[in-house]
Amino acid sequence: MTDQYDHIRSLQGLTWWQSVWTRPRPEWDHDHCSACWAKFSDLDGPDILREGYTTGDDYKHGARYEWVCDECFAKLKEELSWSIGPSNSQAAKP
């Protein structure tokens, strides 16, 4: 659990973008919330999320690399100084 906690702390101060999850490549079928490990996908199944918050072009690994679910974003945004990018931005578009 320490590794996951360290990872989420490394995302401090980022701007996040509300986005619908789409496959970055045909063989890539899911991502996970960087905080709680909830699953984002376009597959059918219980507890699969279709949208959440994702990193933008300004993130060191690029747009749509990290994902955070709505619940974790709400819990962590103040502690980690997260902000939400403008909805008209292209930063997190597939």
Domain boundaries, the chain: 2-84
Q: Mind listing the pLDDT tens digit for each residue in 32-79?
A: 999 999 999 999 999 999 999 999 988 999 999 999 999 999 999 999
pTM of structure = 0.87
Q: Mind listing the pLDDT tens digit for each residue in 23-35?
A: 999 999 999 999 9
Instruction: Tell me how far apart the alpha carbons of residues 14 and 30 are, in angstroms, rounded to a whole number.
Output: 22
The residue type at 18: Q
Instruction: Tell me how far apart the alpha carbons of residues 89 and 40 are, in angstroms, rounded to a whole number.
Output: 22
Q: Which residues does 16 contact at the CB level (< 8 Å), separation at least 6?
A: 53, 54, 55, 56, 68, 73, 82, 83, 84, 85
Give the strands of the sheet with 67-68, arranged side by side.
67-68, 51-55, 15-20, 83-84
